[in-house]
Amino acid sequence: MTVKSVADDTKARTDTGQHVLKLQRIALVCRHPRQQRKGAEGFGIEFSHRGSTLDGGLDVHADAFIEGVQVPEK
């Protein structure tokens, strides 16, 4: 399952003080192949961007990052 979200980080601390920044997240969440019931074990991987503006290319960067993750069979 892919989850996308955008939120306001209202207490982001930067070199120039505290600011409100956009936080974009794209996550892939997978259940264990033999444990498909709700609440079962699994894993997740997330790619994010935080800044004053949204990253229009975040999907491309996140897809490349997630594609590169190798999950061992055991």
CA 32/CA 10 separation, integer angstroms: 35
pLDDT in tens, 6-18: 999 999 888 999 9
| Sole residue written with tokens 């207490």 | 11
- The reply to whether the predicted model has a pTM over 0.75 is no
Give the pLDDT score at 39: 66
CA 30/CA 15 separation, integer angstroms: 37
Residue 69: half-sphere exposure toward Cβ, Cα within 13 Å: 14
| DSSP structural state of residue 26 | E
Q: Using pLDDT thresholds of 50, 70 and 90, give the confidence band for residue 40.
A: low
User: Residue ranges of the domains in the chain?
Assistant: 2-67
CA 31/CA 70 separation, integer angstroms: 15
pLDDT higher than 90, residue 48: yes
